Structure 1
């Protein structure tokens, strides 16, 4: 009999709610990830003491390791520390930096990885990618996706609000990335995965059209679930294509050209997505993206990220070099330096025309079907 459905690798558990962290031991045992509780737990300096206190009387077999910085060296250091003992699994508890380091270490050690997210800054929560700083700047490394994902909204509520808001820009950029992927499919025959597109698009639209904000538990749950689904869409596709297009090329360009001035990843890709929609000549989606970013107090102009128009022009010009072989609206446009400068200036003018006359970022949100 022919196989009529494909098998998709997905987390055994996705638990998004307040107090989710307290269920870690139960989930490890119930899902047969570690019935003995013999796990390595990697934590950052921010939440490490809180997490250890939570399990003061539980997970007696666990050992704790501190992660300092989101670098390839930090990941290799964790590998060297953990490999001296035998564990059933490795658990990362923290924001994107801790999770990316832990995912990389788990891949090197051949251990299943459990992600406990304390922040919603980007979609690495459930993705098969670790983004780490290296000697050349910043690199993306393919890794197995987490076996289980917990998002504790109590801890998310303690994270810096700006970092949580940046996750909105991250998930919103999916729509622009999908547009790049679909265009590459139509014009160049690039293979596309409809299921991956559906997961990435649906998660982005749920956040785009949600009336709440980061002070609202329902909105935070929608954002968290969307970021998880976005990560799974990359697992399904076997590539970052569902969530990475011109928007991410612009962000990578900022990381490489202005490493000391880079902001949150989600802030950069959100602005990159707005510019990409403008470059495509799609006013409805451009306006919807700008409105959503502005409503959540995210950057909508180069100056909001601390860049002049000339600097942003250079960033856009360099962006295609960050992903050789990937086709996006930036590559398709093939603009000269002067052409990019004209588009950047026009983009900035259009954003100014969209926001309030006093310059405050308070437009009414626009739903996008």
Structure 2
């Protein structure tokens, strides 16, 4: 008998609106996550005291812990602090670093985790992945996705604009990651999940084509909802494939080769996506991606991230090593050192022409320069 439906793990609550944080206690009680309010709340050092003052007369049974840094050691330290007491759940309130540390700690302790985002820097808000620095550089760890996701748009509006813009680069890069996944499926038979593809693509297109800016509440809501859906697409797929392809390999290479020069994750993957579209010769996607990134003030050339063309070429060459076994346009293009240098130079010139004149200057065929 055929299976007529499937069960998809999804958050009990997704609440994206102004003032959502003030109702955290009600969400915990109403959803039976914690009727007593006996929860561990992890916050960052910057907004932690401000957030804690919001609950001065509520959640009196909660204990507060400060997360300082996004390392595996920080996460293990949080685990040791929390395991000394009994809690119904762990709540992470903060940016990507706080949420990643909290997700990892919750997984180690077997407790449900509630994510409360204070910025929109990346799609870790609702994803089953925790990205933490370790002795080898930076690693991604599989964890249960949050049981509830809250995004208070009042807090988001107070976040550094650069961190919010980073989320745009993160979500827009989904389309490039999907192109890699679909190519691996058609050319190598890699399994693909249509529901995960739909979630990742729809969320990316909603942001890509939204006419607003980070100063507008409607745009912030669309971005927040898109990042949540992107995280859920990874839950559905059981892999980061819907949102991680050549774009993320380039970002991981930057993290590993130049850890002291890392930019925001979304800034790096956005630029990586633009380069991947150029490498594929997809004119429409290349133009649309560059236009979106540039319009929102995100990096579009290696120099915007502080890298020369030769340095960026080295990053591109190293990128496939960051995800062994993952097939993307970088692996499929069989890039030689000469072709990398030529392609990076051509990419830089075409992006400059696009942002200067609105015309990328690529030939109608969209072919990348061959070895010289």
Is structure 2 residue 195 aligned with structure 1 residue 159? no
Paired residue secondary structure (2:356): coil
Q: Distance in 2 between matches of 1:356 and 1:330?
A: 27
Give a deviation string over 1:149-189, Cα, whole Å, max 9, x none. Answer: 00011111111101110100000000000000000000000
1:215 match:
215
1:318 match:
318
Q: Distance in 2 between matches of 1:147 and 1:73?
A: 24
Q: Which runs of 5+ in 2 are unaligned?
A: 359-372
1:238 match:
238
TM-score where L is the length of structure 2: 0.95
Q: Over aligned residue pairs, what C-alpha RMSD do you find?
A: 0.9
2:96 match:
96
Give 1:3 shift: 3.2
2:362 match:
none
1:363 match:
none
2:194 match:
194
Paired residue secondary structure (1:355): helix
Q: Distance in 2 between matches of 1:90 and 1:166?
A: 26
Give a deviation string over 1:208-261, Cα, whole Å, max 9, x none. Answer: 000001000000000000000000000000000000000000000000000000
Give a deviation string over 1:112-150, Cα, whole Å, max 9, x none. Answer: 000000000000000000000000000000000000000
1:64 match:
64
Paired residue secondary structure (2:40): strand
Q: Which segments of structure 1 move beyond 4 Å, counting only runs of 4 or more? A: none
Paired residue secondary structure (1:157): helix
Give 1:322 shift: 0.1
Give 1:2 shift: 4.7
1:366 match:
none
Give a deviation string over 1:251-303, Cα, whole Å, max 9, x none. Answer: 00000000000100000000000000000010000000000000000000000
TM-score where L is the length of structure 1: 0.96
Q: Return closer, same or farther for 1:70/1:315 CA change in 2, 3 Å cut-off.
A: same
Q: Which runs of 5+ in 1 are unaligned?
A: 359-369
The 5 A counterparts of 1:20-59 are 20-59=20-59
Q: Distance in 1 between matches of 2:282 and 2:68?
A: 43
1:179 match:
179
2:344 match:
344
Q: Distance in 2 between matches of 1:87 and 1:350?
A: 55
